Amino acid sequence: MAKQNHPASLLIVATAMCAALYAVGCYATAYIPSPWGFGQFRPAVLIPAFFGAIFGPLPAAMGAAAGTLIADSTKHATLYMGSLLAAVPGNFIGFYIFGYILKKKFNWTRYIVASIVSLIVSNLIVAFLYVFLFKALYMEALAFSLDSLTLISLGLAIYWFVVMLPFVLLVTPLLIRIVSYAMPTIVPEEVRVTSLETEFPKTSFSLAMVIPGLVMLFLGLATTFTQLGDFTRDASKLSSTLMIELMYYVGGVTLIVIGLAALVKQKTEKS
């Protein structure tokens, strides 16, 4: 078991650091919207993922919840209810799950599973709460049909998952290794040993990239060549689905290329 024997004072400091760094990271990309017209590009999720692996579920969950609220409220220059109602609970639950999975036992395969599960759960929570709750209470969502709201929610969750996953699987493990080497006393033994002495599982990593990538390509083709495109355009009330199609195609190809590159590298190293 990856024991978390950190003193309470260190966990408090870690929570504050997670919140501050996540707020800065989220705000840095806060003005890059999703193809749906709302929802942000957010690679900063690699930050609470790092804290979840090193310090456990609570610092990551509380830091992510506070950080997203600070960033969103700073952007809107007021307490942003969309963040409070959707992003705060989604980030808290998602990163608590992430930290909890790794607290039980840490290895790289488990890290990949924790990343996928937590991103799916958190993004679905944020997307559905934002669209169904915040939009319905404060904006124009009541003018949309239930099917339209569901499609928009799923599309937003898919967008977030695809743009977040590479950062959590590519950058955060590197940060964990750096800190394990530079400051070993704050890193749980199992995390430190795993990060410094074992290789990241390239086959599992490749599958974690390629499978979502293929799903994205399928959705792109369906949007381009079937009635899903018309339904998406009508549901989102956009004049064109071009940006959404590009999201599917570019996201899908990017994930597949990253995944296949990992496999090629693995075969090259073995030969």
For residue range 8-18, list pLDDT tens digits in order: 899 999 999 99
Task: With both helix axes pointing from N to C terminus, report the angle between 88-104 and 57-76 in degrees, rounded to the nearest 10.
Answer: 160
Among 134, 34, 32, which residue's Cα sits nearest to residue 83?
134
Helix (H, G, I), strand (E, B) or coil at 40: strand
Which residue in this structure is represented by tokens 């928009």? 152
Alpha carbons 173 and 200: distance in angstroms, whole number: 8
Give pLDDT, residue 2.
47
pLDDT tens-digit map of 181-232: 999 999 999 999 999 888 888 889 999 999 999 998 998 899 899 888 887 7
Phi, psi of 89 (to 5 degrees): -65, -35
HEC profile of 6-30: CCHHHHHHHHHHHHHHHHHHHHHCC
pLDDT for res 134: 74
Q: Say what the pTM is.
A: 0.88
Average pLDDT, the chain: 89
Average pLDDT per block of 10 residues along the chain, 271 residues long = 70 96 95 80 95 96 97 93 93 97 93 96 95 71 70 88 92 95 92 90 90 90 87 74 88 92 79 62
Alpha helical stretches, state H, the chain: 8-28, 46-55, 57-76, 81-82, 88-104, 108-128, 135-138, 146-170, 172-182, 189-197, 202-225, 227-236, 242-270
d(CA 61, CA 105): 18
Structure tokens at 61: 């969950």
DSSP structure string for 69-114: HHHHHHHHTS--HHIIIIIHHHHHHHHHHHHHHHHH---HHHHHHH
